[in-house]
Amino acid sequence: MNGIVVQKYGGSSVSDPERIRNVAARIVDAHRSGRPVVAVVSAMGDTTDHLIELAHQISPRPPRREMDMLLATGEQVSIALLAMAIQELGEEAISLTGAQVGILTDGIHMKARIQEVRTDRILRELEQGRIVIVAGFQGITPGDDITTLGRGGSDTTAVALAAAVQADRCEIYTDVDGVYTADPRLVPDASRLEWISYGEMLEMASLGAVVLQPRAVEYAAQYGVVLRVRSSFGDGPGTEVRGVSTMENARVVVGVTHDRNVAKLVVVDVPDRPGVAHRLFAALAAEEINVDMIVQTTKARQVTDLLFTVTRDDLARSREIVDQVARELGATTVQDDASVAKVSIVGAGMMSHPGVAARMFGALAEAGINIQVISTSEIKVSCLIDATQAEEAVRRVHKAFHLEELAPEGARDPLLP
């Protein structure tokens, strides 16, 4: 089928009946322009948070399979209401859950990964002239258990569907009108990017820019799905996320991100034996906890401190595991600290431009901000700092790289000669 458009609408775009009608109108516009439309929708507003709260009133650590059973209802409500709103506008629409579409995932509840997307039901409905509304964030295992894809999983649903039905376009509608060089709420003169590469977007998303889920970007890169991030409230062009030609790939730094969903753990006085780090991180990996920054400090002969970060959401579970492993290893003590934040710069051009990291450290030093941990990759530099200084840090670093001047595509990069 030709010309299919996949549109994804986040929770804030469908948070009440009024907004659902607004989204319905946009979808109907696209449909009336002659394109088959598949819309992927998240749960309304803070529904997911309410459901989590309800579960916690029953159980401090609810079984993950049942959490997925519970959370999947959020999107099911949105798709039904959106299909109603579209039919109210006179077009035929049909809502489908993840299970009904056939979004098959592995069995890792609450963080499931998509393994296969069936297209027969969607294509059959589109061929009958219907608008298809799909519940984001959810799938089903081959054994018929409901799963969810983790935070922001609806983006991944949209990209996976776009790849599966070979859509012409994949539009991610959100409450901002594109990807910015920094969060405009913190940095009022942040610039909107006309485009960003998959690699840069992946780092931006991983480092705290909430516009897109990292896994969705990864998936888009893998299948060559061109994304467009747009506002569901305006008509701006948004930001395109795509592969890059070498000519375009000239911007040194495209953005500054900050992430408060970080917590630090320190295992103090671990015996400095081979296999110690493996023991600890294998135990965390076994519980599907992602460890981010890791620093090992040798303090004296035969003991070291092991410092690492996890998401704040994972802190309680991590602490339990780390306490036990630390006891077994004979470490003195374990400390944790949730009052940290990670500030990062991202840009594919920094590979070929030395001095970028130094400029960032300088900007932080000037502001009297202490760097607790540094981690770098080819296209990003991250610094762990005190959470209370995060906003100031973003503004200082944004300024240091003149990102307010990062003009639309084709303009000269301020860091280039």
Q: Does 25 contact a copy of itself by CB under 8 A?
A: no
* Smaller CB separation from a copy of itself, 66 or 175: 66
8 A C-beta contact, residue 27 and residue 87: no
In angstroms, the CA 283 to CA 250 distance is 42
Q: Which residues contact 73 (CB under 8 A, 6 or more apart)?
A: 51
Give the contacts of 294 (CB within 8 A, at least 6 positions apart): 277, 281, 306, 307, 308
Q: Which is nearer to a copy of itself, 99 or 187 (CB)?
A: 99
End-to-end alpha-carbon separation of the chain, Å?
48
Of 47, 61, 10, the residue nearest 313 (C-alpha) = 61
Distance CA 125, CA 38 (A): 10
CA–CA dist 146, 142 (Å, integer): 10
Stretch that binds a copy of itself, among 75-83, 171-179, 181-189, 255-263 (CB under 8 A): 75-83
Strand partners, 340: 386
Q: Which stretch binds a copy of itself (CB under 8 A): 30-38, 97-105, 157-165, 236-244?
A: 97-105
Q: What is the Cα gyration radius of the chain? A: 23
Helix (H) or strand (E) holding 326: helix 315-329
186 interacts with a copy of itself by CB under 8 A: no
Consult the annotation and say whether 386 binds a ligand.
no
Q: Which of 22, 30, 52, 77 is the binder for a copy of itself (CB under 8 A)? A: 77
- Please, are residues 398 and 248 in contact by the beta-carbon 8 Å criterion? no
Question: Is residue 55 a contact residue for a copy of itself (CB under 8 A)?
Answer: yes
CB of 122 to a copy of itself, least distance (A): 13
One residue of 41, 83, 216, 256 binding a copy of itself per CB under 8 A: 83
Look-up of token digits 């907004």: 19
Binding of a copy of itself by 309 (CB under 8 A): no
Strand ranges of the sheet holding 340-346, from the earlier edge strand across to the other edge: 255-259, 340-346, 380-386, 373-377
Site residues for a copy of itself, window 109-168 (CB under 8 A)? 121, 144-146
For the CB of residue 216, give the shortest distance to a copy of itself in the complex, in Å.
Answer: 25
Q: Does 62 help bind a copy of itself (rule: CB under 8 A)? A: yes
Does residue 66 interact with a copy of itself by CB under 8 A?
yes
Among 35, 65, 319, 359, indicate the residue that binds a copy of itself (CB under 8 A): 65
Q: Is 57 in the site for a copy of itself (CB under 8 A)?
A: yes
Find the binding residues for a copy of itself in span 328-387 (CB under 8 A).
none
Residue ranges of the annotated binding site are 8-11, 48, 75, 174-175, 180, 185
Chain positions contacting a copy of itself, by CB under 8 A = 17, 20-21, 51, 54-55, 57-59, 62-63, 65-67, 69-70, 72-73, 76-77, 79-81, 83-85, 87-88, 94-95, 97, 99-100, 121, 144-146
